[in-house]
């Protein structure tokens, strides 16, 4: 598991009340609430792929720091409640 993913998970857990992180593999985790997967996050080397509602969003780790991606996911998931 990359440091990027470790940092991302730690920040998400701190900011997303009611959501859980479900480990799928060392490089993949799901953001879950009420037994429903709201987002799937995959570490693919230089990129992080976030799958939401069947659509993939690709983030370059160099330009998108973990705290920025955390804010994007928190903002989106907070609106889905």
Domain residue spans of the chain? 3-70
SS3 content of the chain, % helix, strand, coil (to 5): 35, 40, 25
In this predicted structure, what is the pLDDT of residue 80? 74
Q: What mean pLDDT value characterizes the chain?
A: 93
Q: What is the pTM of this model?
A: 0.91
Structure confidence by residue, pLDDT tens digits, 27-49: 999 999 999 999 999 999 999 99
What is the C-alpha R_g of the chain? Answer: 11
Q: If the chain, 81 residues long, is cut into consecutive pieces of 10 residues, what is the mean pLDDT of each piece?
A: 91 93 94 95 96 96 95 91 57
């Amino acid at each position: 598991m990359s440091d990027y993913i470790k940092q991302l998970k730690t920040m998400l857990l701190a900011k997303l009340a009611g959501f859980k992180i479900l480990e799928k593999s060392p490089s993949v985790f799901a953001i879950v609430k009420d037994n429903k997967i709201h987002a799937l996050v995959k570490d693919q080397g230089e990129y992080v792929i976030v799958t939401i509602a069947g659509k993939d969003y690709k983030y370059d780790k160099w330009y998108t720091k973990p705290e920025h991606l955390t804010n994007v996911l928190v903002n989106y998931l907070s609106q889905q409640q």
